[in-house]
Amino acid sequence: MNVLTTAALDPAGSTAALDRLGDEIAELSVHLEAATARLLDLIREFDIRAGWNNGFRSCAHWLSWRVGLDLGAAREKVRVARALGTLPRLARALGRGELSYAKVRALTRVATPATEERLMEVGRAGTAEHVERIVRGWRRVDRNAEAREAAQRHRCRALHVYRDHDGMVAVRGRLEPEVGELLIQALTAARETLYQRTYRTFADADVGEVSAETPVVEQQQADALALLAETALHRGIDPGAPGERYQVVVHVDAPALADPEAPGQSVLESGEHVSAETSRRLACDASRVVMQHAQNGRVVEVAARTRTIPPAVRRALHHRDRGCRFPGCGGRFGQGHHIRHWAQGGPTTLSNLAMLCRRHHRAVHEEGYQVDRDACGELRFRRPDGRLVPEVPQQPKVPADPVTVLRAQNEAEGLVLHARTAMPLCLGGGLNVSYAIDVLHPLATRESEPS
């Protein structure tokens, strides 16, 4: 009521006060943009030096946990920070407060070192809305160029299969990138299958019967292609029960499973050694078969296969934990972890289980992280050095007058910031996106769609 009365009695004075208030908002915003540039520099260095790799899945996950950012906003901060590492002009413009973070964030979606300068001028000249519209038009031209290139590649696809002069069949062709990658993966799988067959055959043969000649890679590729052709006709590269086809089998002695320091083997089906802690991690949530061996190594008894975590307990675990329980993770899919391992007598009960994603399950077993429950039943995670990883980190102390501190820091950096530093150069006229893109984009044509 008092404000309205004052405005009515002294409109000129009120307008001047509001102008000063608007200038203060604009000036403080510029100071915040300059501080944001320093923040992005720190994030980029932290990301490059993998400072987040102390139990967290990515720099964005660490930011979400440590700073309290939404995970999507954290990912965007990391993306922009990385992009500015190759775009020094945009980075300087943000650091001087000449461009807002919103404009820089949009421009880094399309900018390259070759186009950075002209796009920076777009940011200086236009409003944030103008920049977003230019970026959308720019990306449309990029997509059109990519579509033309993809269509050209599609038209150039070819596969020639013909008989050579000596009766051999020659194969020559060009495939689209994704089709070629599919072929490469299929050939790799077929080569692995042939290797396993050969390995088993040689293992069963006498030394004198084994050929010393090993096919070169090109010959292995030819054999793999033949296997692909055969299996395409016979429907199935690897016959067998679908549920068992791609299992990883680990053979581990019971003492080594109960105590990683104890002697005993821990090997894959192929004979490759893995650490005892890796075996413990895999055994946390897997099916197990107990085999009893005689002193000469012969198997004398094989128990029925059982699940480490029964289905009913697993459903309850998923319902309770709703994903990985490691602080700051929140991954939806995980594995059941025995807080006290079942090989050491730990029960397979909800109170002794926690859901962990693959990354953090490995961290707890192989990387020295620890997890337990406190007296109240809450999970506690500790780093390898014993320090607690809090669910919610303690926030840094904020000075009593943060605005004054921020201004002082920017002035110490030699920045001269005022209310008009980030003001766009445009005079308020309409934006013709098609014309702007035709002028700015190196690949633009007059076919650009109207705004």
pLDDT, averaged in runs of 10, over the chain (451 residues) = 43 76 86 90 93 86 88 92 94 90 92 90 86 86 71 83 84 82 84 73 51 74 85 58 52 75 70 73 76 62 70 89 86 85 85 89 86 90 89 75 80 78 66 71 57 44
The answer for 399, left when phi > 0, alpha when psi is -120 to 50, beta otherwise, is beta
pLDDT for 78: 94
Could you give the angle at the alpha carbon of 287 between the alpha carbons of 267 and 377, nearest 5°?
Answer: 105
Match 């590649």 to its residue by tokens. 153
251: number of Cβ within 10 Å: 14
User: Which of the 8 DSSP states describes residue 305?
Assistant: P
Q: Which amino acid is at 206?
A: D
Please, which residues bridge with residue 370 across strands? 382
pLDDT for 173: 92
User: Which of the 8 DSSP states describes residue 243?
Assistant: G
90 in Cβ contact with 362 (< 8 Å): no
122: number of Cβ within 10 Å: 20
Q: What are phi and psi of 5, to 5 degrees?
A: -65, -45
For the chain, count helices (H), then strands (E): 16, 13
* Encoded tokens for 367: 């990387």
Report the candidate in 440, 441, 317 with the shortest Cα–Cα distance to residue 379: 317
pLDDT for 411: 82
DSSP 322-380: -S--STTT--S--EEEESS-GGGT---SGGGEEEE-HHHHHHHHHS--EEEE-TTS-EE
pLDDT for 295: 61
d(CA 391, CA 376): 15
d(CA 448, CA 429): 21
d(CA 80, CA 94): 11
pLDDT for 244: 47
pLDDT for 84: 95
6: number of Cβ within 10 Å: 13
pLDDT for 245: 42
Name the strand (E) or helix (H) holding 229.
Answer: helix 217-234
d(CA 225, CA 245): 21
Q: How far is CA 230 from CA 159, 224, 227, 237, 356, in A?
A: 19, 10, 5, 8, 42
pLDDT for 203: 53
Burial of 89 (0-12, 13-18, 19+ CB in 10 A): middle
